[in-house]
Chains A and B, each alone.
Chain A
């Protein structure tokens, strides 16, 4: 079960963060464990060495634009506790939800944080707060049916539980 809130250190990204930055072409056929090493290597070399489990990604418009590459699985694998973005690309959002990654569309969220500050987020109500400054923003939570997928830990967990996939 994924909790309805998360708290973590903020990494800030701009608009149009695309799938090919998260999973570069040369990493497409690699295993997920290998792919984790290359996340954001083109735009933020060394980031994967600094990011810590529990950290939060705050981003601008059209987050996750691009291909079907499963960005949700990568962020999940890196231990990111959630993504709050001004807006999401449709497919990017699908992959985050289906991987069980709490995701919240929240216009203006970039103004609330400086990098490294701590975010308090309830992705089910849309409340976003800067723990240090007290500044807030309010997002539009994803619909309940989709929240349920995230809460269950993503679709593969659901399928495994229902006997469609072999146990791990």
Chain B
């Protein structure tokens, strides 16, 4: 079995699982954000429940405030200890990695499509729906329909100004979507991709429609988890005779910055240099979200914006993935550099990523973003267009006022 199959089998009553099986599993960690159902009478594992506020923080509407209040009541009612109130808040996928809740070999659930983010931690996780989350909350169990797995082998090292974000734009540009399929990441090139980069790639796997996107437990991950893991864990490694539906090999050294065009991700990316020749004017540049709202993303943006100014007629918004990230980015001077260049740095929230608050787009505006989604209407008006690029591509485009290859600034 491959690593994904081994985690599934290990959490079920089946000795072996194969593509096509519906596997009933016991869940290790349950994450729930933004609201608590008042009608829940009993829950399965209060100690392994992580509750937090993330999508619209602090509440911009009475409706959001009421939802937040219901969550606090839920926390109180069941005596939940793993709770991140406003003030300690962050985006769920960012927090579960940084705080050591998403652990190798385990199964984590969360009613959010980017839950596959935790695959970077060798943790089996995919997005769940709201009502099945309720089922897991109550009974601690769920099911997965196991699909075939693609082995992605990364070789070599990324060139300057090309990032893991570009890798995860390149793959759907070349191979389309992976609906109903899993991705398992392999290859010596992984040694050159840190946990932040893996989190970006695992998160954006949702846009490839992948079921699971699992990274290996290796030295890079082991070091990251030292002193961070909340509970003991048992990593999952593929068997030597593991089966894969196909193998895709990517030579990292040959990649260029990749921009995804508006609307969808599969079969929809272009090299940044190619698209920069079109002179596409942008109104808003955004860096943030569970994909690219970490300190390393602030560092990249600050490096590009240092001593430069954001183009007249363009606004730039940077939103950290958690309070801790914001604190660190302030300490390291990145926030000041971004603000000197004319960017707005906000409080941690999902915010503009899903057009929730703090940076919506007007009719006919164009945005380039390092957040997660480019659907019609995702970041505001359905008449706006959303392009996606790495934080470096976003920052370079903000300076130029048009979509720009960060190598050309």
A: which residues have CB within 8 A of B?
A: 16, 18-21, 24-26, 28-30, 42-43, 61-62, 65-68, 70, 72-73, 87-91, 93-95, 98-99, 142-143, 145-146, 154-156, 158-159, 163-166
Contacts and interface: CB of A to CB of B under 8 A. Distances in A.
Contacts of A18: 264, 375
B246 interface: no
A26 B381 CA distance: 10
Nearest to B67: A29
A25 B264 contact: no
Main secondary structure of the interface of B (DSSP, over half): loop
Interface stretch (B128-136, B216-224, B227-235): B128-136
B180 interface: yes
Interface string B48-92: 000000001000010110010000000000000000000000000
Interface residues of B, number: 47
Contacts of A67: 112-113, 127, 354, 373
B264 A26 contact: no
A145 B21 CA distance: 10
A29 B61 contact: yes
A20 B135 contact: no
Interface of B: 22, 24, 37-42, 56, 61, 63-64, 67, 111-113, 126-132, 134-135, 138-139, 143, 145, 147, 177, 179-180, 209, 211, 264, 266, 354-356, 373, 375-378, 380, 382
Contacts of B134: 155-156, 159, 165
B356 A25 contact: yes
Contact of B24 (A65, A145, A155): A145
Nearest to B138: A164
A16 B134 CA distance: 27
A142 B22 CA distance: 10
10 contacts: A16-B266, A20-B375, A66-B113, A67-B354, A68-B129, A70-B131, A88-B179, A90-B147, A91-B127, A165-B40
Contacts of B139: 159, 164
Contacts, number: 133
B188 to A, nearest CB: 30
A68 B180 contact: no
Contact of B145 (A25, A61, A143): A143
Given A90-B145, A98-B131, A68 B209 contact: no
Contact of B375 (A66, A98, A163): A66
B179 A65 contact: yes
B211 A90 contact: yes
Nearest to A154: B131
**Sorted from nearest, which 3 A-B pairs have the closest CB atoms?**
A95-B129, A164-B138, A25-B355
B112 A68 contact: yes
Contacts of B112: 67-68
Contact of A166 (B41, B211, B356): B41
A91 B138 contact: no
A29 B209 CA distance: 24
Contacts of B126: 90-91
Contacts of B143: 145-146
Nearest to A41: B382
Contacts of A142: 145
A72 B377 CA distance: 21
Contacts of A143: 22, 145
Contact of B113 (A24, A72, A91): A91
A89 B179 contact: yes
B179 A164 contact: no
B118 to A, nearest CB: 15
B11 to A, nearest CB: 16
A165 B134 CA distance: 9
B51 to A, nearest CB: 16
A30 to B, nearest CB: 8
A158 to B, nearest CB: 7
Given A70-B131, A163-B41, A42 B376 contact: yes
Contacts of B147: 90
Contacts of B145: 90, 93, 142-143, 146
A74 to B, nearest CB: 12
A21 B376 contact: yes
A94 B209 contact: no
Contacts of B377: 20, 24-25, 42
Contact of A42 (B63, B131, B382): B382
A72 B131 CA distance: 10
